[in-house]
Amino acid sequence: MTEDQLLTGVRSAIAAAPNATGAMQQAVRLLKDGKPHYTWVGIYLIDGEELVLGPFLGKPSPHTRIPLGRGICGAAATEKATIIVDDVNADPRYLACSLETKSEIVVPIMNGPEVLGEIDIDSDRPAAFGAGDRALLEQVATLLAEALSDSQP
Ligand code: SME
């Protein structure tokens, strides 16, 4: 599926979702189904000084809470920028979830200057993530930011 088709589907699904949890679940499902090289797809949400695992598809991760200073996930939240790692085994920040994982992309979900959470995707393929994935996922992160912000009191 092309990035444009996938983004259109995610946009409709998020708009139709009853709440932020539903929006996150739909986004995770569509991304996982739409891109075969997305082996593990999950969303972490900020809770104080930690990232807490929300909806995900793929093998259960041991990393259900990640302090902001740890992992590629923590680095992306701290830097407030997308991180692509072509070879996770060569990155000392990497926290392993599955032995098969070879590459990873983490995209922060931002509300202005504030990090609300992030999209984390692992692939069993080395260097699986390129400019197209980054552009797609940064747009999905923007849609999720709106869904998460709308649902806050
Ligand atoms: N690899 C991540 C941890 C999360 S699991 O991949 C699901 C990291 O290094 O932060």
Domains of the chain: 3-151 (3.30.450.40)
Residue 97 CB–ligand 1 contact under 6 Å = yes
**Minimum-distance ligand 1 atom for the alpha carbon of 95:** 9
C-beta separation of 72 from 139 below 8 A: no
CB 56 within 8 A of CB 28: yes
Residue 133 Cβ contacting ligand 1 at under 6 Å: no
Question: What is residue 128's predicted lDDT score, i.e. its pLDDT?
Answer: 98
Helix axes 131-150, 20-34, angle to 10 degrees: 160
Residue type at 12? S
The pLDDT of residue 151: 66
For 1-18, the pLDDT digits (tens) are 899 999 999 999 999 999
- pLDDT given for residue 47 in this prediction: 96
Kindly report the protein residue whose alpha carbon is nearest to atom 6 of ligand 1.
97
Q: What is the pLDDT of residue 69?
A: 87
Q: Is the CB of 125 under 6 A from ligand 1?
A: no
Mean pLDDT by 10 residues, the chain (153 residues): 94 95 97 97 97 97 95 97 98 95 98 96 98 97 94 53
Of 95, 151, 148, 147, the closest CA to residue 120 belongs to: 95
In Å, the largest CA–CA distance within the chain is 42
Q: How far is the CA of 102 from the centre of ligand 1 (A)?
A: 11
